[in-house]
Homo-oligomer: A and B are copies of this chain.
Amino acid sequence: MTVFRHILLFGVGLIGGSLSLALRKSGYTGKITGVDRNEKALGRARELGLIDEAVTSATKAVSEADLILLAAPVAQTGTILASIKPWLQETTIITDVGSTKSDVVAAAYQELGEKVGNFIPAHPIAGRELNGPDAAIDSLFSGKKLVITPLPENTGKDIEKVAMMWMQCQAIIHFLSPEDHDNVFAMVSHLPHLLSYALVDLVARHSNADLMFEYAASGFRDFTRIAGSSPEMWRDISMANKKQLLHELDSYLAELGQLRNMLASDDAAGVENIYANAQQARLNWITTIEAAEKQDRTS
């Protein structure tokens, strides 16, 4: 089953490449064209068979594609939308994979104007700490959530088409408002990335850095796995969702301040209370996830 005939990918890295592999695996027989400001990545994507065609100017492909997918760092959204607008056909659907939504939606209104209804904002909750075409895998979205944050101007039919494409990649479709999306991900994704980068940077700049890295073990490795992610991508996400991120960072700083006071005043029971509440909450969360995964496998 093929919803689209011709997909144009802006960005042929981990996400764009994995979408291509997942669609091919599901039996997609249409054309996939790729464009990327990084020529090396573009050539590599062609070599790996992630795209059928690599173009450096997207003008022709924009006018021919029936789906345009933005999979470049979120800060480029406005520029890309502005550049493609003159060549869009009336029925062309545009969607994205940005980790932030309020800024992407604002850029869509600004750059697409009367054509904004063609833009279906979306975000696959899937990733790896590796980047680029070589990191693409066909299972990246399998069993993972794909959040659509629809606009009032979108038609149900267009939303359904985008949802169908992601369902072909084994993703599970969810809907949120752009604001709820950005609130939630500021806390469970953007803030942990900032915290993880901050800790590794602190260790790296420490006068005792070599000894510290020598003894860092599996706990440190897992805690800092997300600090292996693309700095450019996460700079863009941090800046794009700055308001929510600052809000949650301030809550976290208050929480650390509270723990600091407990430590300083030998309030062992207070420290244990926070640790125990966290351990129990995480256990409940993991139990729920695992039950849901089991349900998915048997349904």
Hey, which bits of chain A sit against chain B, CB under 8 A?
Answer: 125-127, 144-145, 147, 174, 180, 183-185, 187-189, 191-206, 208-209, 211-213, 215-232, 234-236, 238-239, 242, 245-246, 249-253, 255-257, 259-260, 263-264, 266, 268, 271-272, 274-279, 281-283, 285-286, 288
Contact = CB atoms under 8 A, between A and B. Distances in A.
Contacts of A213: 188, 281, 285, 288
A39 B253 CA distance: 40
Contacts of A283: 228
Contacts of A220: 188-189, 192
Counting every copy of the chain, the complex holds: 2
A278 B198 contact: yes
A226 B219 CA distance: 6
A46 B147 CA distance: 50
A33 to B, nearest CB: 30
B238 A199 contact: no
23 contacts: A125-B217, A126-B217, A127-B219, A185-B215, A188-B213, A188-B220, A189-B219, A189-B220, A192-B223, A195-B223, A196-B223, A198-B252, A198-B256, A198-B259, A201-B255, A203-B281, A204-B277, A204-B281, A227-B282, A239-B271, A249-B256, A249-B263, A250-B260
Contacts of A256: 194-195, 198, 249, 252-253, 256
Contact of A222 (B211, B223, B231): B223
A227 B234 CA distance: 24
A239 B263 contact: yes
Nearest to A223: B192
Contact of A279 (B197, B253, B260, B288): B197
Contacts of A231: 272, 275-276, 278-279
Given A185-B215, A221-B286, A239-B263, 5 more contacts: A145-B215, A184-B208, A197-B274, A201-B274, A227-B275
A224 B282 contact: yes
A225 B219 contact: yes
A283 B183 CA distance: 30
A159 to B, nearest CB: 19
B185 A195 contact: no
A274 B219 contact: no
